[in-house]
Structure 1
């Protein structure tokens, strides 16, 4: 059991490493429209997803009107979240954009309460509020702050990802297989961004093409790794290790782009990661002790 957990930790850190490189490749692609970058990232992922569907002989079919509706919301929210996130990557310090995207687990808590009717404890409310405060230190809302709009879009991108992951949670609970969800999302994102790219296509050099292909490959690697991670260990035991991505993006941002987050951003990082660690401790220790005590009373 312990070995399984260690495998889960390894794969989730590998996922964080892969997604950090996806961020870096997107930025390295240079001055290309956000929609064009999003299209190529998802076009590569679509091929990976179709390959898995064929390999595992999975039919691209979803039963039930509600499942289809939730699948659409997942694809729509995920696409909007990715577009906003990619815009933030191009206009912010890389690690700032990455950390705002990591607000998604806290939005999952909120959206799971609203849409899935999952119980929301006072402790969870406090961690969500704490994470929001941390995000404000990164965003630094001010009309004089030229990075505020990209930061706001990065924040909204994390919100979109949170809604998308909530939908994935619902779909997984109702028998929709992962490769179908990924293929649907990738195809939907390609269709949404294709018209924008057709009207505002920028010629790409070989280096830019390779960067976008690299972004797609890194994203696929991250997706497969995180899927493997959660097959070896439950999310509550390993999800906190996903925040290692901030270490990787900070290093890559400095090495490739000379990005150095300011003091306020670092404070925001500390607050958000602290909230994530508290959620981890609550899910694995404190909450379990409360349940044990409650059962003992009964």
Structure 2
């Protein structure tokens, strides 16, 4: 269990609710490379473009270059870094790493145990996903990191990690509560849909992510359609305490459908829950704006 303990410590080092998933993203990328190409060094200069894309898509709005986690992950006992000829890493300076032909690799003992025990590999991937990202992003992230999607499907992690995963309790009835509070309508676009007696296409969207102590309650959740939920988790959409909807300037959508379903939301007021139900807490809205929304917003 030594490796699982080291993986969980990566999460415990984050402070103040700030997202810092860059080491986790590097590990997921390295495990994806291990699965697809075998155990061999990863050259920084070759991996940098792919890591930049991963960080941009799944990291927080504040940009961090790949050089820092590539160098600093070695302090966690999971990764080792060296320059050409076996020389030590020159440090986290991107230009020096490129000039020195720096390469990194997962620790050989770590790799040996993962390859010998597929369940361990799955547990490690699941921990990295559960402690850094919302569940709706997991499959997209596995694909972007080059991971085989089935590695994230193990259900044994929660039992081992009792006391280590985020302390927020999952509420199995939260979707029903949110549907009632928002009258079975998307708070952003008003969509509603049914098939028989089942509501379809409406989901619970958290402001503060579960991985960062986001609670499953009305003060932290919105009712959104599947499209707007995905865009909300990706930072394309946001919201301010007054209820005004934000659309990121970084979003590009040229078709009339994109303009109608996304761009035209900018500046609209989201539908509040029905009277008698709690509204989203300003602190949770602020967390999403700082840690997820990819500002600036459109004017």
Tell whether the structures are fold-level matches, with TM greater than 0.5: no
TM-score normalised to structure 2 length: 0.27
Higher helix proportion: 1
Greater length-normalized contact order (CA 8 Å, ≥ 6 residues apart): 1
